[in-house]
Structure 1
């Protein structure tokens, strides 16, 4: 299982953070699970009014994440799923999404929660989607990671770290 060894989530009060979630639309059941997991994490961390934006697919995540980062969000959570098929399309979309989201984070010093599932088949995606019976909750994990990183960056900016 890929989640083996994951760190324990530390719940923190993030009520003062501006947070946006950008989610792809393909694979509706998986995406509903990822979004629900993200919402649980936002609720646990007391994020009061997150913005949720939908895009057609995973390929479109970076450009919208970039626009949200430019608008001053403290964290952006990117959720999507790409399931391997019989063509190189999988490799191109996964690479473009990963590279693009990483670029957004580095260009804007804004954490981007990477909740993009890159799976060989639909069952792997369902197992990671945070649905009833899923082994993992990647929407929750990506959101919690982005929020923890946003708090660290806030401390650095306030010279409170160290």
Structure 2
């Protein structure tokens, strides 16, 4: 099984038909869980921590992000499999791709630099372009938030 943190007592155990097995990470929008679909395949399930019924702008933004993610070329990112923005528990399900997180890689091996960093930035540019976002190297909003935080912390 992938490296996950056990569910805490307040975590949901299901998101629609997806069984939630453990936490993969926590971000500004919510928690990403390792889930299992009805066929037994692992998936990543991001559960949003905002009541979208009470925040129509957040709901609209979440729906736009899902639509943009669906436009990204499959070789650039995990594909969106399902999303529910209208239910009591808004969530999005994507392919689960097992691997080391960027945070863990940096912690264990040190800062990413040189060609590996250029490859990461190139993949980010491709993903953003596939989603219809313009890339501006001077605008951190167009660069993946996690990459910005990791790189700028060194």
TM-score (norm 1): 0.31
TM-score (norm 2): 0.32
Q: Which has the higher contact order (CA 8 A, sep 6+)?
A: 1
